[in-house]
Amino acid sequence: MEKELYIIRHGETDFNRQGIVQGRGVNSDLNAMGVAQAEAFYEHYKHIPFDKVYTSSLKRTHQTVKKFWTTNCPGSSSTGSMSCLSGYGKAPPTKASGKVLMQM
Residues 37-50 have pLDDT tens digits of: 999 999 998 888 77
Q: Judging by beta carbons within 10 Å of its beta carbon (0-12, 13-18, 19+), is residue 11 exposed, middle or buried?
A: buried
Residues 74-94 have pLDDT tens digits of: 444 454 333 444 333 333 444
Q: How far apart are CA 42 and CA 30, in angstroms?
A: 15
Closest CA to 7 of 57, 49, 41: 41
Is 77 within 8 Å of 90 (Cβ atoms)?
Answer: no
Q: Hey, which residues does 55 pair with through a beta bridge?
A: 83
Q: How confident is the model at residue 11 (pLDDT cuts 50, 70, 90)?
A: very high
Number of domains in the chain: 1
Task: Work out the number of other CB atoms within 10 angstroms of the CB of residue 55.
Answer: 25
Domain with 28, as residue range(s), is 3-103
pTM of the model: 0.70
Is 88 within 8 Å of 72 (Cβ atoms)?
Answer: yes
In this structure, what CATH number is given to the domain that contains residue 78? 3.40.50.1240
Question: Which residue would you say has higher pLDDT here, 58 or 54?
Answer: 58
